[in-house]
Structure 1
Amino acid sequence: MTSTLDLPTQCDTDDTTATSSPDTDLNTSDLDGAAPADAAPDGDTSSTDVKESPLDELSDEDRAALHARWDAEIDTIVRADPHTVLLAENVRTADAEADEDTTANFKTHGVKTAVNGYRDYDTGAIVVTEGQRRVLNAREAGCTVPVWMKTPPPADERKATIERIVNQFIENDPALRRSLTLSDTARALQQLAAFNLKPAGIARKLALGRQGKTYVENVLRAGQSELALKASERYDLDLLQAAVIAEFDEAGDTDTAKELILTARTAPNNFAQLAERKRTERADKQRLAALTEDLTEEMTAAGVTIFEQSLPDDGDARSLDRLRPTPEDEPRTELSAENHASCPGHGAWIETDHHDEQGNQIPVAVYGCADFLAHGHALSYAPAGRADFTPVPTSTGTSVDDESSEDEQADEVAVARAAHAAAELERQKARIIRKWVIQNNKDWDASAAPRRKWLVGLLQRKTAPQGAQLFLALQKAHGGYALRRAFERNHPLAMTLLYLPDGATLADLTSKVAKAPTAGKATLYDLFLTLCAIEADLSRNSWRSPWDSAQAYMAAIIGWGYPASDVERKVIDPETEQEVIAAQLGDLAADPTIDGGTTAEGDESGGAEIDDPTAVVDDVDDAGADEQTGAQTDHADGDAADGTGPEAVEQDTAAEAELIGAAI
C-alpha cells in the first residue's frame, strides 16, 4: 500500500465515519473527543500531554479488544476529522500554515495524498507526524483527511525523536520530489483545452485559485513554442519567462525570443523591461517603416538620389556638414543642401535613429556628396586652398626657402588636423550620448509596466513590508510635489491601478480604502497611494537627473523585493555623460590625436570602438557556463546603497542569442 492513493473527495457534507475500523463497543467518535484539536497548540502537540481519557474507565478486556482493533489499522488508510487529529512536533516551521490556493483545491477535490500518522494507544488520538500542512488546509476546507496509519513510535524517546525528524526531513526534502515539467504540464492542459474547456474552466476544474486562469493561459502559451519549452527545461526558466519567450517565437521574432532567453540567464532583472521594450519596438518598427517609405517616395519624387549604404565617416562620400563648397572657401564655410542640390554627387542617406519632440523615432534625410574630391569640394577643416589634409609636394631640389615653406606647410596641416580631430571627437561624443539617451529612454519607458504591475501585487499582501511606516512618515513630513499633486488630482494613477471604472470619483477610492479589514491592510493602502503618487511623477529624466523623492522611492521598492532593471537602478546611482564617454572612448576622450584616434587623413581608425562593449558567453551549450568576457556595466544590478540583486551583464545579443539557439 502506498501513501498516494486516488481517494474520493471527503468534505464536511460526507456521512463517512471518522475511521474505517471495525465496530467495537466503544464508539470511535468518543475516542476522538478525548483528544480535541485544542488540547494543545499545533506544532508541539503530543499524545503525552493528555492526562485523562475515557480509556481509563475501560476494563482490561475491553482495552485489549480496542488495542487489537487499532493494531488492525496499521498500514491502512483511516479517514479522520482534521480538527481531532493531533500534530506532532515538526521540523518545518516556515510556511507551516494553511494557504488560500491549497485550501481552495481541497474544497473542490479533497485531500488526495494521505498523511502519515499513528494511534496513541493511551488516549486513542491519531497523531500526524508527516503532513501538517495538509491537515491545516483540510481544517480550513472542511474536508476529512486520509491518514496512513503507521506503527506507534518506540517507547525510547531518543529513538522516537530521531525517527520522527528523519521521516519529516525525507517527507519535505525537495531532492526526493520531482514536479511535472513545463512540457508535461502544457501537454496535460492542452488535452483539457481540446475538450473545448476555456482557461477559466480548466482553472476551476483544477482548483488553481484566483490566479488560476492566468496560470493556465501562460502554460498554454508556452506550450505553443518548442523553443520556450526547451529553454525552460534546459535553463530552469520560470513559467512567465517561458510564456513571454513563446509570445515572440510564435510571432516569428525568434531573434528576440533568443535574446530573452539569454537575458533570463544572465540578467533576469532586465527580463520584464526587455520584453516590454521589444513589444513597443515591434509596433514602432511598423510605424517607422511606413514613415520611411513615405520619406523615400517624397525624396525620389524630388529627384534626390538615395544612398543605400549607411552614412560613412570616411572615404569619398561625406555628409555636407563635414564639407565646405570649394578648397578656396574659408575653412568651416557651410555647404547647405540647397547650394549643393546642383552637384552631380548630390544625394542623401536616410537615418532612422532620430526622434521628434515627443520622443517618437522618425526617419531623417542626411544630405551629402557621393565623391567630394571628384566634385570639387573640400573637407570643412582642411587648410585653405586644399581639399583634404594631403601635403602639397615640393620640387626634388630643395632650398632653404623650400624647407622653410615645408615647415610652414607642416605646421598649417598639423593645426588643421588638430581642429578636424577635435571636431570629429565632438561628433563621436555626441553620437555616444545620443545613443545612450535613446537606449535608456526606451528602457525607461519599457520599465513602467512591470514596475506598476509590481505595485498592484504589493497591495495584495496582508501587511505592509518592513520599514514602510518610516518611509511613509518621511514622505508625509517632506510633503513633496508628487504627493501634493496626487492629492489635488484625486490619485489618478492609483485609481487606474485599482481598476476603478472610468469616471470613478474620490468617494469611490475612499470607499475602497475604508473597507480595509485590518490595520495592516490600511497601512498597505496608505503605502500604495504614496508610491503611486511618486510613480506618477517619474519621467524620462528620472534615470539621468532624479529628484530625492524618486531615489527614495526606487531604493524602497528594491528593498521590498522589486527586481529593478539596470535603467531603474540608475535612479539611485545616475551615470554622467563624462562617465559614459570615457567608458566608450577611453584616453581618446581627452586627447583625440593619440594612437587609435583620428588619422592624418582625418579618418576614424578602428582603434576607438564607438559601439557598446560586449560580453560573450563562453560555452552556452553547457547549461552551467556563465563565465563572461568583455566589458560589464559600470555598476552591478545591486546598487551601492544595498548591494542587492543579480549582477548586470551587458550583452552582444545578436551573437549570444545565436549561440543560445544553437544550444537549444
Structure 2
Amino acid sequence: MTTTTQTTRDKTTPTIDADDDQARLVAEHLLAVAVAGEETVCVSQATLAATTGLSARTLRRVLDRLLEAGWITVTVAATPNMPATYDLSRLRELGIMPASQPAPAAGAPAGGVRVLSEAEARSPLGNVVPGERVMVEPGLLEVGPNIRRALRVDERFTATIAEMGVLRDLHVYPTLTGLVVLDGHRRLAAALEAGLGLVPALIVEPADDADRISQQLVENDEHARTLPTERADAIHQLVLLGMPRKDLQRRGVRYSELINAKAIASAAEPVRDLGRRMKDMDLTVLGKIATMTDLAASPEALADAVKQIEAHPEQVDHIVDRTKWDGLCARARQKCTDELLANGHRHVITREKFAKAAGTARPLSDLLDEHGKPVDEASHVSCPGHVTVIDYDYTSLHGDDPDPRCKVAFYGCMDWAAHGHRNKYAQPSSGATSGPQSEEMRAERARVRRRNEDMDSANRVRRAWIREQLLPRRVLPTDALGYVLAVVRYAHSYVSGMAKDKGMEHLGLSPAGLDQDAGSPREAKRGLLSWALALMEGTIARDSWRQDNPASHRYDRMLATHLDTLARWGYAPAPIEQELIDGLDTTANHDDEDGAGEDAGTEEHEKGED
C-alpha cells in the first residue's frame, strides 16, 4: 500500500532534478537554520538569500520548486511582521544534511544586537552581512528611492515614535558610501524629527528596481496608504521594467489597475494634482478622470472639469462623459472646418455663430438678388459676406456610443442688406427686411439644445451604470420586484414594441438571453429586472426632460419614479435627472389611473431569497 502511494506521488508531483544544485543548497541552509531536532523553522527570505548567496528573485523560484516537489511545506504563511514557517520533515526523510553555519560578523555580540559605529555605518561593506540586525544612528542612514512622493509625517506619528521608538526594523542595504534605506523612509523621517539616538535596522541584499518598487508598494499600502498617483506611477514603472502580469497580480495589482495606471502616468498635471489632493480616490476613478486628458476640448476645459469633480465627486461619471463629449464635438467641428477650407471655402462658421448674427445674417435660401432672382451658392461665392455654415450630422449623435460628425448645413450671407440682397419673404409694405429673431428666441433655442445634450450625456452614463454595475450584482435590490410590477402596469398600455427593442439595445440585452430558462429564483429576478429596465430605458429620449405637456403627465411621473429608484439603488443622477426626480413630489397628488409608481419603491423584504 505504501509503495503504491509513493509511486502515484512520483508520477503526479514535480520532482527536483539531480543537477538542481540551487534547490539542494536552499534545502541545506533551511536545515542549518532549524534548531536541532525541530521539524519546522521560521526564517525570512532575506536571511536565506544572505546565507545562500542567491538573489531574492532566484530564491523565490527555488522555494517554489521545493514546495511543488513536496520537499517542504508552509505551515504558517508569512505576514508583514513575521516570516513564513516551513515544515522540513521531508528533507530529513530524504537524508539531506544541514549546511555548515557561517561565522558571525566581526564585532557581533553573542546573543545581542550590536550598535554600529559611525565608521562602520559610513563604510559598511565588510562590516555587516545580510540578515544581521543592528542599531544605528538615524542621521548616518542615506535615504534611498521611494515611490511615495510625500511621506506625510504628522505630529501624531512623530509623537508615537518619540514615546515608543521605532518598533519595526528599517530595511537597509550596504553600499560603498553607506547604508541606504530600502524600506522605512517614513519611520526614519519621524525618528529624525523626534531626535532619536538609535533606530533598529535589518541588513538586506541590494534590490533591483523591480523588487524595490514592488516591495515599497506593498509596504506603503500596508501602512500609511499610498496616494493614487503614487500607486499608479509605481505600477507603471513595474510594467516598464518588464514585470509579468502574473507577478504583478501576486503583489496585489489588479488588471484594471494596470490599465488605469498607464492613463494616470501620462495624465495632465491638473488630473495628477487632483489625485494628490483627494487621497481617498481609488485608481479606477482617477483612471476614468485621466481619460479626459486627450479628449477635453482644451486645457481650460480640462481644468474646469477637474474643479467640478473636486466640488462634486459624486458627479464624476457625468462630468467626465460631458467633458469628453464636448471635446469630441469640438474636434468634429474643427475637422470639418479644416477640410472645407482646404477645398476652397473662404469662411466657415458654425450654426451657433451664424444664429448670433441673425440681425444681419440670413441663409441664401431666404434671399433674392437685385433682379429678384434666387441667390445660390455659385452666384454668391464672390460676395464679401459669403459663409459656409456647418452643423452636426445628427445621425451621428444618437446611440450609446456616438461619434459626432459635422457637415455643411447651408450657405449664407453675413450682411445681406449691405451687400444688396433682398429678403424674399418680406411683404411689399414692409420693405426689404423682416424682423430678426429676438434675443429671447435665440437664448431659448440655445437652452433647449444644451439641455438636450445634457440629457444625452445622462442617458449614456445611466445606461452604462445599469449594464456594468447594477445588473451584474450578485445580490439584487430587495425591492426590485416592486419596481418591475410598476413598470409592467405602465408598459402594458404605454410602451411600444419599438421602445422595448431600443431599450434592450441600450442595455446590451438580447431576446435570446431573455428566452433562456432561469436556473434559480435569483436569475429569474435578474431577468425580470433586466426586462423592466429595458422597457423604461427605451422610452427615454434626449428631450425627455421636457415636462410642459399636460398630456404626458403619466409618463413624466413614471420617468421620475424610474430615476428615483435607480438613485436609491446607488446611481448618482445628473443635475438634469435630479430635476425630474424632484418634480415627482409636485405630481404626487395627481390621480394616476394605472397606478404606475405606486409600488415602485416598496416590496416586502424576502429574507434568504438571494
TM score, norm. by length of structure 1: 0.43
The answer to which structure, 1 or 2, has the higher relative contact order (CA under 8 A, 6+ apart) is 1
TM-score, length basis structure 2: 0.47
